[in-house]
């Protein structure tokens, strides 16, 4: 008797969920599984998708390669290989790190194409069968049976799924409805909040800003704040401002103005950044007053783990949401999708045909995911601590910052030698280009909690 196909529901049509769907379609034997994706948004452009990201070879690029999307005209159209310029500066525009784009003669080839988050999601979505995705269908509850490990989905419109799913994968982001079945941990406020904004068609409207960002990314840190500018493939500049804030900072009584009103936000930020370089204040002045997106950044505990449960699992932000200061979130999510797809495919090839049998592979996936996620979470927390929660950053911590972002794959002796070279370089840099000790002193900030 031919076994019935496994019913697999993926909640969330973001990069994590769509990557998993692609990999399962390619790797599972034909007819062995029925895949469905449920997405709460009604269309791709329902909300701000964020700025740009660099895809890492071992995660994001590897996942696209495994999905058969890397060597395609569609990927070539959105991969900006000239977008690898990076400037890290302080509020006076002293450049502590300046990596020129390889397209403009830069000597440091990162090998990480920049892709707009919106373009990546569009690429993944449009290359899936559209009948696989149900838009505007928000899952509010998953009921997992203790008897056979199958699950029923409950939707915001009051309906329930007619199908009992052998596996429900929560790719539904920060406030996942699947994660509570696995762990009581909820995201907590990181101590950082701010805004995302757009400067429309910056090359024509603000050519000097475009030149300053140089088709890549600019990060200006000082005084417990960071101002970021990223070039988008659309021609817009994506601007973010983050700072150390109290948890209730969005309350107008705390902020002193309406944090959702673009004109009020612009006036308040120009006043707050009055001591910053004119070029950086111009970034603030340039944003489109049609809309701003205020956000409090949240995170899950570093090193979070749980006991595996048959029939349900999570990946991406649903499993390990972290703050966006290390560029690892989407890459980690796509790496999770590869790990989960591999384990599901292996289980099916070994004869798994029920929710309970399929559930045996989830512990293996989650064990690997916990290790990868812990590394990414710790890295992100370290970068936040150095640049936002340490007085005098970036000047006071630049040596530690450079060592942290470059030494993960080095042995102890090589890391020590590399750290010595970094220290020597910045000793002379500070001696000749910074000068006084006052330049590295700052107001004490509270320490970031990552527990």
Q: Which domain holds residue 414?
A: 392-440
Question: In terms of domains, do 404 and 276 share one?
Answer: no
> pLDDT over 70 for what percent of the chain?
92
pLDDT of 327 reads: 82
Mean pLDDT of the residues in the chain: 90
What is the SS3 assignment for 80? Answer: strand
Degrees, nearest 5: CA angle 84-85-90: 135
Question: In terms of domains, do 19 and 161 share one?
Answer: yes
| Among the listed residues 290, 179, 172, 193, the one whose alpha carbon sits nearest the alpha carbon of residue 248 | 193
Question: In terms of domains, do 65 and 161 share one?
Answer: yes
Say what angle helices 15-27 and 329-349 make with each other, to 10 degrees. Answer: 30
93 found inside a domain: no
Q: Which long-range contacts (CB under 8 A, 24 or more apart) does 318-321 make?
A: 318/12, 318/16, 318/170, 318/171, 318/172, 318/173, 318/174, 318/176, 318/178, 318/179, 319/170, 319/179, 319/369, 319/373, 320/369, 320/373, 320/376, 320/377, 321/173, 321/174, 321/187
**Sign (positive/negative) of CA torsion 400, 402, 404, 406?**
negative
- Segment 418-447 shows an average pLDDT of 68
What are the DSSP E strand ranges found in 304-393? 312-314
What are the DSSP E strand ranges found in 145-236? 151-155, 167-170, 188-199, 217-222, 225-231
Per-residue pLDDT tens digits for 222-240 = 999 999 999 998 889 999 9
pLDDT of 104 reads: 59
238 found inside a domain: yes
**Is there a contact between 16 and 319 (Cβ–Cβ < 8 Å)?**
no
- Give the number of other CB atoms < 10 A from CB of residue 308: 16
| Domain endpoint, select from 355, 380, 405 | 380
**Is there a contact between 124 and 66 (Cβ–Cβ < 8 Å)?**
no
Question: In terms of domains, do 217 and 294 share one?
Answer: yes
Number of structural domains, the chain?
3
Question: In terms of domains, do 70 and 157 share one?
Answer: yes
Per-residue pLDDT tens digits for 4-15 = 899 999 999 999
pLDDT of 83 reads: 77
> 41-45, 113-117, 219-223, 424-428 — which is least confidently predicted?
41-45
**Is there a contact between 325 and 352 (Cβ–Cβ < 8 Å)?**
no
Question: In terms of domains, do 136 and 161 share one?
Answer: yes
Calpha distance 99→406 (Å, rounded): 14
Give, as one character, the DSSP assignment of residue 433.
Answer: I
Per-residue pLDDT tens digits for 380-415 = 999 999 999 999 999 999 999 999 998 877 778 899
pLDDT of 411 reads: 79
- Segment 315-340 shows an average pLDDT of 95
Residue 228 backbone phi and psi in degrees, to 5: -125, 140
CATH number where 178 lies: 3.50.50.60
Question: In terms of domains, do 151 and 72 share one?
Answer: yes
Per-residue pLDDT tens digits for 118-171 = 999 999 999 999 999 999 999 999 999 999 999 999 999 999 999 999 999 999
pLDDT of 450 reads: 35
pLDDT greater than 70 at residue 438: no
Give, as one character, the DSSP assignment of residue 3.
Answer: P
Per-residue pLDDT tens digits for 14-37 = 999 999 999 999 999 999 999 999
Question: In terms of domains, do 32 and 168 share one?
Answer: yes
Calpha distance 67→24 (Å, rounded): 9
Question: In terms of domains, do 55 and 15 share one?
Answer: yes
Calpha distance 429→96 (Å, rounded): 9
- Distances from the Cα of 263 to the Cα of 194, 237, 296, angstroms: 15, 18, 20
105 found inside a domain: no
> 8-12, 83-87, 246-250, 381-385 — which is least confidently predicted?
83-87
262 found inside a domain: yes
| Domain endpoint, select from 273, 298, 323 | 298
pLDDT of 68 reads: 95
Per-residue pLDDT tens digits for 207-226 = 888 888 888 899 999 999 99
Q: Which residue has the higher pLDDT, 254 or 111?
A: 254
Calpha distance 154→425 (Å, rounded): 59
Give the rounded distance of the alpha carbon of 130 from its chain centre. Answer: 25
- Segment 314-340 shows an average pLDDT of 95
| Among the listed residues 198, 185, 267, 183, the one whose alpha carbon sits nearest the alpha carbon of residue 231 | 198
pLDDT of 448 reads: 40
pLDDT of 412 reads: 83
pLDDT of 340 reads: 98
446 found inside a domain: no
Degrees, nearest 5: CA angle 435-438-441: 125
Copy the structure tokens of residue 223: 């005084």
Q: Which residue has the higher pLDDT, 83 or 136?
A: 136
pLDDT of 67 reads: 96
Predicted confidence band of residue 442 (pLDDT cuts 50, 70, 90): very low
287 found inside a domain: yes
pLDDT of 54 reads: 87
| Domain endpoint, select from 266, 298, 330 | 298
Calpha distance 360→362 (Å, rounded): 6
Question: In terms of domains, do 74 and 181 share one?
Answer: yes
Judging by DSSP bridges, how do beta strands 33-39 and 133-135 pair with one another?
parallel
> 73-82, 310-319, 358-367 — which is least confidently predicted?
73-82
368 found inside a domain: yes
386 found inside a domain: no
- Segment 256-269 shows an average pLDDT of 97
pLDDT greater than 60 at residue 451: no
Judging by DSSP bridges, how do beta strands 86-89 and 217-222 pair with one another?
parallel
Degrees, nearest 5: CA angle 232-237-238: 85
Question: In terms of domains, do 258 and 369 share one?
Answer: no
Instruction: Name the H helices within 146-302.
Output: 202-205, 207-213, 252-255, 262-272, 278-285
Question: In terms of domains, do 219 and 277 share one?
Answer: yes
Calpha distance 26→64 (Å, rounded): 12
């Amino acid at each position: 008797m031919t076994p019935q196909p496994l019913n697999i529901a993926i909640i969330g049509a973001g990069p994590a969920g769509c990557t998993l769907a692609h990999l399962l379609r390619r790797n599972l034997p034909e007819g062995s599984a029925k895949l469905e994706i449920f997405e709460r948004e009604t269309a791709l452009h329902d909300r701000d998708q964020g700025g740009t990201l660099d895809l890492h070879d071992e995660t994001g690029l590897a996942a696209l390669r495994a999905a058969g999307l890397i060597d395609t005209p569609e990927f070539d159209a959105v991969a900006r290989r000239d977008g690898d310029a990076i400037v890290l500066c302080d509020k006076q525009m002293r450049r502590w790190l300046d990596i020129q784009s390889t397209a403009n003669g830069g000597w440091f080839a990162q090998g990480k194409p920049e892709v707009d988050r919106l373009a990546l999601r569009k690429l993944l979505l449009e290359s899936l069968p559209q009948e696989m995705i149900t838009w505007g269908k928000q899952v509010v509850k998953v009921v997992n049976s203790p008897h056979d490990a199958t699950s029923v989905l409950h939707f915001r419109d009051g309906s329930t799924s007619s199908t009992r799913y052998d596996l429900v994968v929560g790719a539904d982001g920060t406030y996942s409805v699947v994660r509570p079945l696995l762990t009581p941990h909820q995201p907590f406020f990181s101590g950082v909040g701010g805004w995302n904004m757009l400067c429309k068609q910056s090359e024509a409207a603000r050519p000097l800003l475009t030149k300053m960002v140089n088709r890549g990314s600019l990060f200006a840190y000082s005084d417990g704040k960071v101002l970021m500018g990223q070039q988008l493939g659309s021609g817009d500049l994506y601007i973010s401002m983050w700072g150390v804030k109290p948890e209730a900072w969005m309350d107008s009584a705390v902020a002193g103005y309406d944090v959702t009103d673009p004109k009020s936000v612009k006036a308040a930020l120009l006043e707050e950044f009055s001591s910053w370089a004119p070029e950086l204040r111009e970034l603030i002045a340039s944003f489109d007053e049609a809309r701003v997106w205020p956000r409090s950044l949240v995170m899950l505990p570093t090193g979070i783990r749980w006991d595996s449960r048959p029939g349900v699992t999570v990946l991406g932000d649903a499993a390990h949401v972290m703050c966006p200061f290390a560029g690892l979130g989407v890459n980690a999510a796509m790496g999770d999708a590869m790990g989960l797809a591999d384990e599901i495919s292996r289980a099916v090839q070994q004869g798994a045909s029920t929710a309970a049998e399929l559930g045996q592979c989830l512990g293996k996936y989650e064990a690997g995911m916990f290790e990868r996620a812990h590394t990414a979470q710790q890295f992100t927390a370290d970068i936040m601590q150095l640049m936002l929660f340490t007085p005098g950053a970036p000047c006071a911590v630049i040596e530690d910052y450079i060592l942290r972002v470059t030494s993960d794959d080095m042995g102890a002796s090589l890391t020590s030698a590399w750290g010595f070279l970094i220290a020597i370089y910045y000793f002379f840099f500070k001696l000749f280009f910074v000068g006084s000790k006052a330049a590295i002193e700052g107001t004490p900030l509270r320490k970031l909690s990552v527990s």
